[in-house]
Amino acid sequence: MIGEFSELLKPDYFDILFSISVVEHVSDSSLEAFFDDCARILKPGGIMIHAIDMYLSDQVLVQSKRRLDLYSNILVNHTQLEAIDDIYSGDPTFTCDLASNSDEAMYMWNKISPELRELRNISQSVSLLYGARKSHG
C-alpha cells in the first residue's frame, strides 16, 4: 500500500514507520514513490526505520552495490527526509569465515527460492538498517 499514495493512509499521521524484510521487494522503479509516500504519511519529525535484507560477500556483488547506491541516492536527494546516521558509501562487502546461516535455514530458503541458491553459496544474508527523519519544514 505504501507507494500508492492511498487515501487510507493519512498525510502527517504516523510518528514511526518500521519494516523488516519489505523494502527489498519494492521494484527499483517504485522505490522513489515508496519513500515519497513514507515522507507523506510521517508527521514532521517522524522517523522511518527499515531493515532491508541483502546479500554481501568478500567480493562486491553488483546487484547489492547497485541497490545500496539506489537507497543512498534517494535519501541524499530527498527534500523531506534526512538520514538518521551516516549514509554508507563505498563497496559493500562482508568477510567472515565463521558467519553462516544454519543448514536448516539454508535448506528452507533454497526450497522457497531456489534461484538464489548459487548466490547463497558465495555470500551472507545481512540486514541493512535504513533510517530517516522527516524534516519539520
**Lookup: cell for 24:** 527489498
What value does the mean pLDDT take over residues 69-93? 89
Residue 126, classed as helix, strand or coil, is strand
- Residue 36 has what pLDDT? 97
Residue 122 vs residue 38, higher pLDDT: 38
Query: Residue 88: enclosing H or E segment and its boundaries?
Result: none
19 vs 101: CA distance, rounded Å: 22
Which is it for the CA torsion 70, 74, 75, 77, positive or negative? positive
- Is-contact 107 34, C-beta < 8 A? no
What value does the mean pLDDT take over residues 18-34? 96
* Count of beta carbons in the 10 Å neighbourhood of residue 61: 20
- Residue 62 has what pLDDT? 92
User: Where is average pLDDT lowest: 39-53, 74-88, 94-108?
Assistant: 94-108
* Count of beta carbons in the 10 Å neighbourhood of residue 91: 11
* Residue carrying the nine cell digits 522457497: 112
23 vs 31: CA distance, rounded Å: 8
pLDDT tier, 88 (very low <50, low <70, confident <90, very high otherwise): confident
pTM here is: 0.85
* Residue carrying the nine cell digits 538520514: 83
